[in-house]
Amino acid sequence: MQRATIQLLRSVPIFSSLTDDELKRVIDSPANGIVEAQPLDPIVEENEVGTCMYIVLDGAVDVRIKAIDGREITIATLKTGEFFGEQALLPGSSGRRNATVRALQKCRLFKISKTDVTLGMTAADDLGIVDFENVDAEERVRMMLRSVRLFRSLSSRDLDHVGEWTEVVRFKAGDIIVREAEDGDFMYVVLDGTVEVFVTDDDGKIMVLSELTRGHYFGEQALLPTGTGKRNANVRANEDATLIRVAKRFFQLIINHDNKLMLALKAVGEAQKKKIANAIGPSKDR
C-alpha cells in the first residue's frame, strides 16, 4: 500500500524530486493521511483558505464553480491518481480555493498538509524544477500548463512541443491586454504578475470584476465555437506581467475533444455575462 502511495506522490510534479525516504516521511506524517468521502460530501469549498491538497486514491470527485445564480457548475471529474487543491498553496496565489470539490462517488483521498507541499516545492526548487527564474522560457510554460486544469488532458507529446503552439508575452503595469468588443484570437494564462478584469458603465466608470494571479487564465470565452468571437470585458496588467498566449486554433482543438469541458466553459461564460450585467446595471445594452 505504501509503495503504491509513493508512486502516486511521485506522479505529482510538486513531489517528483523527493527521495523515497522523503516521500515515506510525507506519508507517515500525522498531519497527512487517508480520508474517506461519501457521494456529494464536500471536500474543499470555493473561496476558503487552502491548507492542504489531495490525491485521489480511488473513486471520483467533481470540481465545481459557483455561478452568479448560486448554481454549482461541474468543470472537471477527477479519478484515481489525479490531484487537486495545490493551486491555493503555490507561491503567488491568493491562498484561497478557486473551486469547490465534492465526492462524485464513495472515494478515498490522500490528504497532504501545506507544510509538506512546501517541502516538495522547496526540494524541486533546489533542483531548478519549480524556480521559474532558473529554467528556460519553454520549461516555465510547460510547468505552468501542467498545473492548469484546463490543460490537464494534454499528452506528453503536446507538452514536449509547447513552443510550437504557445508564446510568452510581457506587459507593463497599466497596459491593456484585451479590449472589450474586439475580436478574440488568443487566450492567456498568467505566468507572473497580476491582471485586472474590468468593464465600464455608461458614465465611463470602471467596474472591476476580478483580479487574476499566477495560474489563472482569461480570454477563452471569445474563442468558443458557439460564442460571438468578441471579448466581453477588458483586461489590463496591474503590474509588470508575463503571460502565456495560446492561439484560438489550438485552444479549440483541446475543447473539441472534451465535450464536458466545452459545456462547463459555456456555463462559466453565462455566469460571467450575468456578473457583467450586475456590475454595469441595466442601462448598458449588450
Q: What global pTM score does this model have?
A: 0.60
Check residue 104 and give its pLDDT: 94
- In the predicted structure, residue 82 carries a pLDDT above the cut 80: yes
Q: Which residue has the higher pLDDT, 5 or 261?
A: 5
* CATH 2.60.120.10 domain range(s) in the chain: 2-126, 162-280
pLDDT of residue 286: 32
Residues paired with residue 79 on neighbouring β-strands, in sequence order? 60
Using only C-alpha atoms, the chain has a radius of gyration, in whole angstroms, of 19
CA distance 36 to 108: 5
CA–CA dist 162, 139 (Å, integer):
9
Report the pLDDT value the prediction gives residue 246, as an integer from 0 to 100: 93
State which fold the 2-126 domain adopts.
Answer: Jelly Rolls (2.60.120)
Q: CB-hemisphere CA count at 13 Å for 132?
A: 14
Which range, 62-76, 91-105, 231-245, 253-267, is most confident? 231-245
Q: What's the CATH architecture for 162-280?
A: Sandwich (2.60)
Task: State the pLDDT at residue 132.
Answer: 46
Alpha carbon 68 to chain centroid, angstroms: 19
Which band of pLDDT confidence, cut at 50, 70 and 90, is reported for residue 131? very low
Give me the pLDDT at residue 244, please.
94
Q: What is the pLDDT of residue 136?
A: 65
pLDDT for position 252: 86
Q: Which carries the bigger pLDDT value, residue 212 or residue 274?
A: 212
Mean pLDDT score across all residues of the chain: 82
pLDDT average, residue stretch 88-112: 85
**Secondary structure, 3-state, the chain:** CHHHHHHHHHCCHHHCCCCHHHHHHHHHCCCCEEEEECCCCEEECCCCECCEEEEEEECEEEEEEECCCCCEEEEEEEECCCEECCHHHCCCCCCECCCEEEECCCEEEEEEEHHHHHHHHHHHHHCCCCCHHHCCHHHHHHHHHHHCHHHCCCCHHHHHCHHHCEEEEEECCCCEEECCCCECCEEEEEEECCEEEEEECCCCCEEEEEEECCCCEECCHHHCCCCCCECCCEEEECCCEEEEEEEHHHHHHHHHCCHHHHHHHHHHHHHHHHHHHHHHCCCCCC
Instruction: Give the pLDDT of residue 98.
Output: 77
Flag whether pLDDT at 127 surpasses 50.
no
- What is the per-residue pLDDT for 14? 75
Of 20-34, 151-165, 171-185, 213-227, the poorest mean pLDDT is in: 151-165
